[in-house]
Structure 1
Amino acid sequence: QMEQLGKYGFLRRDYLKNHRNSTYQVMLLQDTIGEHLLEVDKAAREREEVILKQLEEKEPLPDKEVDQMAWVRAANQHRAIAEEIILKELIYV
């Protein structure tokens, strides 16, 4: 299962190991950690898509053909905002 794990699953695992070790150990012993991490990773990726769509509706990205650097800056800013929300809502809880 760990091969299928993405960025958010690994972040969640590291958080549990370092800040909620007893929960992590219980899940490890019950063999539910892999399933939990996959669920969190999937939920985080789905939430990221929703947030990015909402951000783009609220603040549309500039035309990529006209100003590629402005487009990259705006896209990176949207992604950073989405990631911050996901970390607070799903990973560090």
Structure 2
Amino acid sequence: MELTYHRKGDYLFPNLIIKEETVAIGKYGMLRKTFLKEHRKNWYQSMMLTGKLENHLAQTEKAAQERMEVLMKGLLERYPAPEKESDPMAWTAHMNSLTAMAEESILTELVYS
């Protein structure tokens, strides 16, 4: 690896460039980023400086979305929802409850670990 430098006054500073790929990061990726920034500072800075942070956040987001789909299918099989047409408010409350259960599991397993 060959470094180039630029002079600023009496000092030489390396020309460091972080290669960034634009990756769409959703809710779980952003929560993971905040967690790393606040609770795992050294790991966060190391990943950011090596250019691996965005990839890690994208993988976390993808895994969380896939896990959410699997958990929701399993929860709907175990706890069937009432008919949406006959009682939409009960259906909405039931689905919100299942979503909260699945999301709690995802946050514990993937985001805050």
TM-score over 0.5 for the pair? yes
Give the CA deviation at 1:2: 5.5
**Which residue matches 1:36?**
56
Secondary structure, counterpart of 1:72 in structure 2: helix
User: Using the alignment, how far apart are the partners of 1:27 and 1:71 within structure 2?
Assistant: 43
Q: How many equivalent pairs are there?
A: 93
Query: Which consecutive aligned stretches of 4+ in structure 1 deviate over 3 angstroms post-superposition?
Result: none
TM-score normalised to structure 2 length: 0.80
1:81 to 74, 95, 101: 101
1:68 matched to 2:88: yes
- Summarize deviations over 1:35-85 as a string: whole Å, max 9, x none: 000000000000000000000000011100010000000000010001000
Note closer, same or farther for the CA distance 1:2–1:60 as it changes in structure 2 (3 Å cut): farther
Structure (1 or 2) with the greater strand fraction = 2
Give the CA deviation at 1:3: 5.4
User: Using the alignment, how far apart are the partners of 2:80 and 2:69 within structure 1?
Assistant: 15
1:46 to 34, 50, 66: 66
The CA RMSD over aligned residues, in Å, is: 1.0
Of all paired residues, the percent bearing the same amino acid is 47
Unaligned runs of 5+ in 2: 1-20
Q: Which has the higher contact order (CA 8 A, sep 6+)?
A: 1
1:12 matched to 2:28: no
